[in-house]
Amino acid sequence: MTVLEPPPQVAPKSLPDHATVTAPRIVNGLTVRPRKQINAWYYGLLLLPDFAALLVVVGLGMHRMLRYLDAKRKKEG
C-alpha cells in the first residue's frame, strides 16, 4: 500500500494589486465582486466644461448687474 503524501507547499505567486481587487469573494454563499475603484479625475474632466460655462455665465451676469447699478446711480445723482 502506498502512502499518500501531501503536495509540497508552494509559495503563492504575487498578484498585482489590480488582480486582487477584481477577485470575487463568497459572502453567505453568494459570489460578490467588489466595486471598481473609480479615479476622481475622470469626474473632474467630465464636469470641467460645465464648470467653465458656469463661471462664464456668473461673470457675464455680474458684469451686467454692475452696469445696471452704475447706470442707475448716474441717473439719480
- Between CA 54 and CA 60 the distance in angstroms is 10
Could you read off the pLDDT of 35-65 as tens digits, one per residue? Answer: 778 888 877 777 778 888 889 999 999 999 9
pLDDT of residue 39: 82
pLDDT of residue 64: 95
- Please name the amino acid found at residue 28: N
Nearest CA to 37 out of 18, 51, 50, 12 is that of 18
pLDDT of residue 63: 95
Could you read off the pLDDT of 4-29 as tens digits, one per residue? Answer: 776 677 665 665 555 555 677 888 88
Burial class (CB in 10 A: 0-12, 13-18, 19+), 56: exposed
- Between CA 60 and CA 72 the distance in angstroms is 18
- Between CA 29 and CA 21 the distance in angstroms is 19
Place of cell 452704475: 70
